[in-house]
Amino acid sequence: MEKKTVKDINLNGKRVFMRADFNVPLDQNLNITDDTRIKAALPTINYILKNNGKLILSSHLGRPKGPADSLRLTPVANRLSKLLNKPVKKLDDCIGDSVKKEVSQMKPGDVLLLENVRFYAEEEKNDANFAKKLAELADIYVNDAFGTCHRAHASTEGIAKFLPAVAGFLVEKEIAYFEKALKNPDKPFVLILGGAKVSDKIGVIENMLDKVNAILIGGGMAYTFLKAKGVNIGSSKLEKDKIDIAKDILSKAEAKKVKIILPIDHLNVLEINENAKTSISKISIPDGFIAVDIGPETISLFKNELKSAKTIVWNGPVGIFEMKPFSKGTEELAKFVADLKAIKIIGGGDTVAAVEEYNVADKMSHVSTGGGASLEYLEGKVLPGIAALNNK
């Protein structure tokens, strides 16, 4: 179902309430250390301003339990003013008479930033009365916060019941890439899954088994699968209670003729620290050793499977890439995938961090801005923030 976007609605002179994802990292002096999320919202912001909208911006920051000075959105307003080259007025609340008064004085092209919407417990409870108070500030609702679309909160879902509700460009792009991969992917379709836990990815695997040709599994989750196949995994990460599920997934994949490719060699250490002595083992992992990355033969095996792919979705690093000595698998795959001619979708926080670290993010077709939201999309779940938007 195609959703309406900011381009499908008249913004001229209208008050536009835009939910953005300005959940940026701050250092102890409240300086923003990475403004990627703010920059990601700029195309929609600029479009609304160019079309004479009066822009009211809203976002959460962190997980406050009530108002907290360290989680105010003032640093965001300051950075946004610089990026837009115009003043962004930051208010100290998100509802109430003082906010209404400021909004009533806005002219087309003005920008206001409301205070952290999670200072109100009603936001995460999706309180209808709170959502209505947010809606009363505006004529139109725009959701450009994909990273929170899997949450039914007042500013992501509740507010859409009271106003015409459309997607911003960021959310539109996320929907387009994920819908294509899930409903009509170019084949062969290869899914790369990594990360620490099988339990985080069971839903993804089960939903994608009918859609993909192959699944490459690395990272901590691979060892539960290897254990399920009877391979000795030493002291590597194991979710004992998921061995039966892993066995079940392997047999379902076989029945559907989907290849599940697991590591055939491993980079091992006796303890996880950057200076640990590493060794490579084939097939199994010796007792007492912990696998921390895929080995060179697995890297070749994975590349071989990827080189003919037309669609690649990658969620989760294949080793402990945050530690330089254990990052080779993730780095080599990232650089290899970057140069392939395929639709390449990167989902999930750690994978996004990896492709950015290796300077290949701009070579991917789509780098998702929402870790949890992209996972739930791949699980085939309905995302409430997207479902709430008006259909074309």
Catalytic residues: 37, 197, 349, 372
Could you identify the residue written with the tokens 């929170």? 148
Question: Residue 388 corresponds to which amino acid?
Answer: A
CA dist 167 and 385 (Å) reads: 10
Q: Are the beta carbons of 93 and 116 closer than 8 angstroms?
A: no
Does residue 202 sit in helix, strand or coil? helix
The single-letter DSSP state of residue 233 is B
- The sign of the CA dihedral 189, 174, 183, 205 is positive
The rounded distance, in Å, linking the Cα atoms of 6 and 241 is 46
Sheet strands side by side (includes 265-269)? 279-282, 265-269, 290-294
> What is the DSSP secondary structure assignment for residue 347, as one 8-state letter?
E
SS3 labels along 16-63: EEEECCCCCCECCCCCECCCHHHHHCHHHHHHHHHCCCEEEEECCCCC
Task: Calculate ∠ Cα 120-376-164, nearest 5°.
Answer: 55
- Are 160 and 182 in contact by the 8 Å Cβ rule? The answer is no
* Cα gap 88→57, rounded to integer Å: 10
Residue 307, both tokens? 């080189």
Q: What is the dihedral of CA 144, 40, 344, 237, to 10 degrees?
A: -90
| Residue 391: burial class (beta carbons within 10 Å; 0-12, 13-18, 19+) | exposed
Name the DSSP letter for residue 286: -
Element (H, E) at 85: none
